């Protein structure tokens, strides 16, 4: 489906770069350089998407987003920015922005994010996500994401799916490791075989041994008949070993032998039986640390991690949270006859700011609970658990006009100085603190400041700061003779 987009930005390099990517993705692009031109083009022809540079949106940009979303065709808005500002990003997403796109991404990453944005507009994401809970036959395409980190992760997952390689999936609780394993199985060479999951942390050592390797009749008390284990049951299929880091050391040796020899011997048996199984393991623990502490066999770790994939946590892909929330809200609306119909901006802002230690699983539980207990038409911030609620705007902030900062008390004498001079003074003082903290190491200082070292060098030159001064200060400080960096002559006036 051909889409029409407006690309509003002042920089020709940005419009040329992004416009070329969009046109290559079957999008008709119209350029403009002001908010007035946006309204003029929207009035002239129906529009699907508006890509607007942050620098164009003066005043209250959230109001502009709401106005655009209120048009009959409800075009989606994507904010373009070259700066990382999580709080502003959360506010934009809370007002209905489809995404906040960082223009500093590489060409491939930018194209990947644009593809995901277009998929959302075309309605592809909601259809592919389907139910909240993993379907019987999930696909890798279910993991559509606006996050470059998640896109890179899924690109690697797609490449390894078509092999028989043993795979280790790393990730926090609730990120979807088993769902991913099922999708890899479904799109791999063993899709006609069985996918068999086993939680290594849920069974005692003796039960887990019998579950994995099977047992012969009379092998132990209660073994009244022979039983095949999971390796035999998953023959020509995939065995998913969840929480592999919790497997007892004794069983780690047996598992290693099966992986090496591709044969399994039942508990109490003498015969080795050939098995053809792809093993996908997963853990939420620091398995390298366990190897170092001798709590997990190093040889088994290397055997399992032929390919190792680390799934990004939900807080590392906040761009996807609004769409996930919408999907789960729609799901639970079909489950519960009388419940909230959506989510209010203050609740969304809190959920965007929350760290989500339980990841997607926690998000599902929070939405289900809020929809059941909320007496409102929309889930409000006070319907959320306290640990999430405190991440949102305070009541005082909610009463103020949206996106206006709290009043800041400044020294009275500053009011007599021009703004550029004040900003220069603050910037120099900040850079001096960062350089002093980093003992004059520019690379470390740039990391602390969140900027490129080349940018920091340029700012140091303009502010009259030299790394050598801070290196000397660090050495003198060790000897108890620390001297602060003097103020820049042009900014020394109070």
Using one digit for the tens of pLDDT, what is the confidence trace for 413-472?
A: 556 667 777 777 788 888 888 888 888 888 888 888 888 777 888 788 888 888 888 876
pLDDT on residue 423: 77
pLDDT on residue 165: 92
- b/e burial code for range 177-206 (CB count within 10 A of at least 16 → b): bbbbbbbbbbbbebeebebbbbbbeebeee
Alpha-carbon distances, residue 170 vs 115, 159, 180, 280 (angstroms): 26, 17, 11, 11
Q: Which of 464, 468, 471 is nearest to 486 (CA)?
A: 464
Alpha-carbon distances, residue 211 vs 182, 204, 224, 299 (angstroms): 20, 10, 15, 23
Q: Is the pLDDT score of 252 beyond 90? A: yes
Answer whether 96's CB lies under 8 Å from 66's CB. yes
Least confident interval from 124-128, 154-158, 198-202 = 124-128
Selection from 26-35, 135-144, 197-206 with the highest mean pLDDT: 197-206
Q: Where are the beta strands (DSSP E) in 96-194?
A: 99-102, 167-170
Q: Which of 205, 214, 288 is nearest to 250 (CA)?
A: 205
Overall average pLDDT of the 125-152 stretch: 64
Answer whether 180's CB lies under 8 Å from 157's CB. yes
pLDDT on residue 123: 58
More confident: 95 or 231: 231
Per-residue pLDDT of 167-186, as tens digits, reads: 999 999 999 999 999 999 99
User: How big is the CA angle at 311 (ends 308 and 317), to the nearest 5 degrees?
Assistant: 150
Task: Tell me the residue length of the chain.
Answer: 494
Count CB neighbours of 224 within 10 A: 8
Q: Is the pLDDT score of 399 beyond 60? A: no
Answer whether 78's CB lies under 8 Å from 97's CB. yes
Answer whether 202's CB lies under 8 Å from 387's CB. no
Q: State the Cα–Cα distance between residues 149 and 102, nearest whole angstrom.
A: 13
- Crossing angle of helices 107-121 and 12-23, in 10° steps, is 60
Answer whether 81's CB lies under 8 Å from 102's CB. yes
Per-residue pLDDT of 196-246, as tens digits, reads: 999 999 888 888 998 999 988 888 877 777 788 899 988 889 999 999 999
The model's confidence at residue 38, banded by pLDDT at 50, 70 and 90, is confident
Domains of the chain: 3-122 (3.40.50.2300), 140-310 (3.40.50.300), 315-399 (1.10.8.60), 413-491 (no CATH)
Q: How far apart are the first and last CA of the chain?
A: 61
Q: State the Cα–Cα distance between residues 206 and 267, nearest whole angstrom.
A: 10
More confident: 473 or 67: 67
Overall average pLDDT of the 322-341 stretch: 85
Answer whether 154's CB lies under 8 Å from 161's CB. no
């Amino acid at each position: 489906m051909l889409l029409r987009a407006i690309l509003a930005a002042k920089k020709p390099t940005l419009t040329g770069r992004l416009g070329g990517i969009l046109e290559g993705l079957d999008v008709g692009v119209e350029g403009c350089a002001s908010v007035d031109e946006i309204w003029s083009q929207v009035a002239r022809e129906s529009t699907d998407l508006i890509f607007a540079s942050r620098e164009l949106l003066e005043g209250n940009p959230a109001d502009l987003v709401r106005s655009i979303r209120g048009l009959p065709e409800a075009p989606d808005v994507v904010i373009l920015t070259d700066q990382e500002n999580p709080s502003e990003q959360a506010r934009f997403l809370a007002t209905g922005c489809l995404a906040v796109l960082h223009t500093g991404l590489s060409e491939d990453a930018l194209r990947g994010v644009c593809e995901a944005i277009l998929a959302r507009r075309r309605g592809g994401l909601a259809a592919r996500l389907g139910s909240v809970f993993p379907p019987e036959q999930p696909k890798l395409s279910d993991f559509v994401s606006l996050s470059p980190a998640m896109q890179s992760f899924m690109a690697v997952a797609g490449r390894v799916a078509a092999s028989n390689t043993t795979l280790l999936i790393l990730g926090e609780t609730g990120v979807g490791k088993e769902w991913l394993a099922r999708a890899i199985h479904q799109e791999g060479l063993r899709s006609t075989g069985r996918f068999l999951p086993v939680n290594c942390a849920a069974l005692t050592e003796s039960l887990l041994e019998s579950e994995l390797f099977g047992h012969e009749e009379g092998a132990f008390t209660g073994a009244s008949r022979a039983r095949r284990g999971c390796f035999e049951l998953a023959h020509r299929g995939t065995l998913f070993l969840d929480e592999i880091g919790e497997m007892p050391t004794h069983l780690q040796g047996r598992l290693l032998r099966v992986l090496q020899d591709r044969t399994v011997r039942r508990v109490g048996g003498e015969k080795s039986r050939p098995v053809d199984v792809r093993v996908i393991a997963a853990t939420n623990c620091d398995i390298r640390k366990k190897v170092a502490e001798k709590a997990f066999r190093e040889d088994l770790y290397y055997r399992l991690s032929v390919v190792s994939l680390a799934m990004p946590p939900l807080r590392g892909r906040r761009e996807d949270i609004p769409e996930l929330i919408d999907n789960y809200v729609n799901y639970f609306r079909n489950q519960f006859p009388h419940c909230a119909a959506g989510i209010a901006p203050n609740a969304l802002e809190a959920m965007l700011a929350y760290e989500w230690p339980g990841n997607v699983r926690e998000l599902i539980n929070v939405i289900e609970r809020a929809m059941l207990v909320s007496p409102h038409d929309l889930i409000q911030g006070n319907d959320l658990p306290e640990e999430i609620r405190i991440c949102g705007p305070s009541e005082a902030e909610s009463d103020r006009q949206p996106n206006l900062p709290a009043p800041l008390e400044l020294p009275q004498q500053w009011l007599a100085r021009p703004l550029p001079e004040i900003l220069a003074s603050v910037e120099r003082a900040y850079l001096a603190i960062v350089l002093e903290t980093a003992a004059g190491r520019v690379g470390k200082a740039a990391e602390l400041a969140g900027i490129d070292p080349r940018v920091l060098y340029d700012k140091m030159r303009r502010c009259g700061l030299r790394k050598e001064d801070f290196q000397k200060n660090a050495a003198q400080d060790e000897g108890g003779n620390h001297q602060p960096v003097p103020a820049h002559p042009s900014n020394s006036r109070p």
